[in-house]
Amino acid sequence: MTTPDRSYVLYNDLPQRGYRQIKARSQESPYSLVFFVEIREGTVLQVHPSDTENTDVKFINCATMSEAIAKAEEEHESSLLSGWHDYDDSV
């Protein structure tokens, strides 16, 4: 599944069902605007970003939102090549 904001949801069944969520994001602090790619991986499909049980989280810092989107697309393509599959939530 791909969303307009360049979020990807993938799954893999080996050795058991697992999910990978890849999102290009930005976060504003009082002093700066930070762009990054967030990659969550676990056995439960995460609905809320604060759900961290059974989840590994990786962040890739980026200089711009365009770079974050490009990195998210690269991570998605790399995931597909390594055996992950796009998750279709309409099924």
Beta bridge partners of 27: 34
- pLDDT at residue 88 in the model: 83
pLDDT tens digit sequence for 15-68? 888 999 999 998 888 888 989 999 888 887 765 555 555 568 899 999 999 999
Banded model confidence at residue 1, pLDDT cuts 50, 70, 90: very low
Q: What is the dihedral of CA 79, 4, 30, 64, to 10 degrees?
A: 60
β 7-12/55-62 pair status = unpaired
Instruction: Specify the pTM.
Output: 0.80
